[in-house]
Each structure stands twice: as C-alpha cells, then as structure tokens.
Amino acid sequence: MIDVIQRIAKLQTLYSHTNTHEMQERGELIRKDLPGKLKKHLPRFSKSLGEFSNDLRIKGSDGSGNKIQTPWVRIYCESLSPSSMKGFYVVIHFSTDGAACFVTLGCSATTRDKKKRIPVQNPDEELNRRKDWANHILKKYEADRSVFVDTIDLRSEKPLPLSFEKATLLCKRFDIDSIVEADFVDAICAALDCLFIIYRSYSVFGDLPASDIAAKNMERMINPGKAIDRHRQGYGLNGAERKAVELRAMQVTKEYLENEGFEVEDKSNTEPFDYLAIKGELIVKVEVKGTTSTLADCVMMTANEVDLHSKESGTTALAIVTCVIFDRRGDNPQCSGGDLEYIHPWQIDQWTLEPKAYLVKRPLKKNST
C-alpha cells in the first residue's frame, strides 16, 4: 500500500487539470489501486464501524471532467452517506506538494446547485454547525481522539481544497517519506471508531436541523404508506420512538418548572398547549417540543397551537428540549438526557411561520336538476 501512496504523492507535484499521462496514472491509483489495497483491511474496518459496516464502501475520486488538485479516497456507510455531498465519512487526502497525506474525519464540503447542476462549497456557518455537533457527540460519548493531533494543510489556495480543510473534523498527518502501513491503518480504524459514534447518533436524525426533521415527520403523517428516501442523513424514528422523545421532553420541562416553584398540570390531551404552570398569580401556558438534534432551528406546531400562542403572544412559554438520547429503540423505546431551552415570555409573532401542509378538499358536486 505504501508504494501506491508514495506514487500518488509524487504525481501530486505534476498536477494538471487536463488529463495528462501523469494525471491518468494518478486517477488509476486513486480510483482503483489504493481502494483495492485498503479493502484488504476490511475486517478491521468493519469491526470499527460495527452495525454500520453492512454497506461499508471505499471509493476514490480525482474529479469528474477536469482533474482536481487534491484527490481523495473516502471510507463510509452508503446508506448514511450516499455521496460525498452528504453526511460524515473518513477521507484520505494528499497535499499538493507531495510531502504528506492525511487520515481525516469530516463532513461533506460541497452540495449540488440544483439549477446549475454543479457542486458549490457549503457556507462556513453550515460546516461549523455540523462540526460543532459532531464534536459535541464525540465529547459526550468520550471518543478516543488522542491520535488526531494535527491540522490539515493541503498546501493550496484553490476553493475546493480549502473547503476540504474547512470540512475536516479530525486529522492525522503522515509524512510521505516515513509513513508506516500499520500506523496508517491504525489511524483509519481510530477514525472509523469515531465515525461509528457519529453514525449511531444521527441515525435518529441527530445531525439534522429541526426543520428537516419536522418536514420528514410531516411527510410521514401525510403519506404514512410512502417510503421515505433513505438517501437523506438518518434512518428516522417510528411512531413509538417519536412519542418517547416527546415524553422525555415533557419530563425534562416538568422537572424544570417544579424546581422553579410552579405547580404543573398536564393539558396535552385536552388543550392546544402541554402544561399549565401556576406560581402564585403567575399562570403560564407552556408548549413543549423535543428533538434528538443538537440544533433546534424550528418547531412543528398544529393550527390550533399556532392560533393560541398567536392570540396570547408574549404571555405563553416555549420549552425546547434538544439532545434527547435513545437508551433503547424499537417497539418499547426509552429516552434519557435532553438540554432545555425555556423561552418565557414567548412572542410567536417574532418567529417565521411556514406552511408545511395543506388540507386539500374536493369541490362540492352541483345538484342535478
């Protein structure tokens, strides 16, 4: 494997965006030879990726059309990262000066412009949000990141290599002249150990903004028999699991309110709000929303809930519980954890209301005469 890596590094110094003889050779090494050498270590890689190893894939790319300056080899779970533009994965990168290669863990650096049908760099804010979430998850589950002490530097000022660097979460640098195969494979396994933790977390929508989660859940409610596209990040939750998240959010909110001295009445089955919280003369109607996501950029509400909180804007409260964790999934799910954001007074009129579903009624039939 090392001779293949060193040859790729040598060809990096002869880079051209056109399909020269050297770039043809580099393409063969990136797309075929190096993935083939890596596949000899699949048993170890599969052990690190655990339950997500059933569709473990190894794929290299040097660009479609024009050759890219920094080719890569990606190791990933196909169902959770169906393309390099979606999800998290382990990536092997090569510097442009041929001096180093990098074993990294990162997220998708680009997305596709649907109108122009070309890749575009993801905004820095989006990349940082994804990396912050992943760092939170890895810290939470005490992942071993001790080997990843380096910063990626592809030695390029071009937009695409720079976006690769920005999308990198963990990095281990290897000097080409002194690289050892056993150490290289160990680093890949360590990165896959961390990737397993990330996959386990966002297989329940944990990496998605709440707006995406809400849209998916809405689609399930409207079309319960329709298969949901698995080529989106996350497998999603069934009805029992969604209910378990809601109940955990209710419990976290109730404990908070009681600790604040409120008497709490559950109104979720009879009123368009969840809790009536009473402390002396203060009476607050509380809406509770829960998610497995770290980021809650929106909440999904019924028409009745929106109507209530709009009419009483500034007097009601919104409790958002993020980072709910599944201790057990399936038919009898159980949840724990949860970080509470309690907003009171809540002014719903300062939020943006977006219709996500419509009641479409057939026209009335005219009476025949």
Pick the CATH number of 2-202 from 3.90.1170.50, 3.30.930.20, 3.40.50.620, 3.90.76.10: 3.30.930.20
User: Would you state the pLDDT for residue 88?
Assistant: 93
Query: How many Cβ atoms are within 10 Å of 25's Cβ, its own excluded?
Result: 16
At residue 176, φ and ψ (nearest 5 deg) are: -60, -40
User: Would you state the pLDDT for residue 228?
Assistant: 44
Q: Which residues of the chain have pLDDT under 50?
A: 205-209, 222, 226-235
User: Would you state the pLDDT for residue 329?
Assistant: 77
User: Would you state the pLDDT for residue 273?
Assistant: 96
* 210-350 CATH fold: Trna Endonuclease; Chain: A, domain 1 (3.40.1350)
| pLDDT tens for each residue of 192-206 | 999 999 887 765 544
CA distance 282 to 80: 47
Domain boundaries, the chain: 2-202, 210-350
| pLDDT tens for each residue of 135-144 | 888 988 899 9
User: Would you state the pLDDT for residue 295?
Assistant: 65
Model's pTM, two decimal places?
Answer: 0.65
CA distance 90 to 77: 10
Query: How many Cβ atoms are within 10 Å of 318's Cβ, its own excluded?
Result: 21
The single residue listed with the structure tokens 């955990």 is 248
Residue whose C-alpha is closest to residue 140's, from 342, 277, 337: 337
CA distance 162 to 98: 17
Strands 88-94 and 100-107: what pairing?
antiparallel
